[in-house]
Amino acid sequence: MKNKNSTPPKPFLCNVVNGPEKFDNHIVIFNLIDILISRQDPIIAEYFGYLNYFTTEQYLLLCNRISNKRNKEVRVNQQHLIIFYSMMHLTLQLYQSERIKELVHSLTTESIPQTFEEKKVNLDPFCHTALFEIKKQYKKNSMLHIAMNKIDAYRISN
């Protein structure tokens, strides 16, 4: 019988706080991306292809963990942190894009465009603060620093 050595799991970097004060913003971010994935929007394919750091399946696994309200903290490794950082960055890009307004207006209910504008007011500073804090915290991790710079360089074309 062959002796198989298992691959050690990737080390955890930190815990993403997912308490009541942050959960609503996390849900908005990840649900927006989920809508785009389910509609097979070319923005998502272009973005995931540009980054080439993770797959849709890896994103969905993290999304399921963050979307679970019982998880007050979510342990993340480097890849999870890159996914989390990139989804916040993409959300900011989407909210500034004209294409996202078309998506929101194409959804069925009339209250969504109004809710969209209300969420934008809260989500913008939340994402900017989180991106700044993550970048500041992990600036000495060269792999994360390179990934974050690549993410920051991406711009959605209108």
What pLDDT sits at residue 111? 52
What pLDDT sits at residue 102? 73
Whether pLDDT at 107 is above 80: no
Q: DSSP secondary structure string, the chain?
A: ---PPPPPPPPP-EEEE-SHHHHHHHHHHHHHHHHHHHTT-HHHHHHHHHH-S--HHHHHHHHHHHH-TT-SEEEE-HHHHHHHHHHHHHHHHHHHSHHHHHHHHHSS-SHHHHHHHHHHHHHHHHHHHHHHHHHHHTTT-HHHHHHHHHHHH-----
Kindly state the percentage of the chain with pLDDT values over 70: 82
**Stronger pLDDT, 27 or 112, i.e. the higher one:** 27
Predicted structure pTM score: 0.83
**Stronger pLDDT, 19 or 86, i.e. the higher one:** 86
pLDDT (average), residues 29-34: 86
pLDDT (average), residues 64-78: 86
The lowest-confidence range among 84-88, 141-145, 149-153 is 141-145
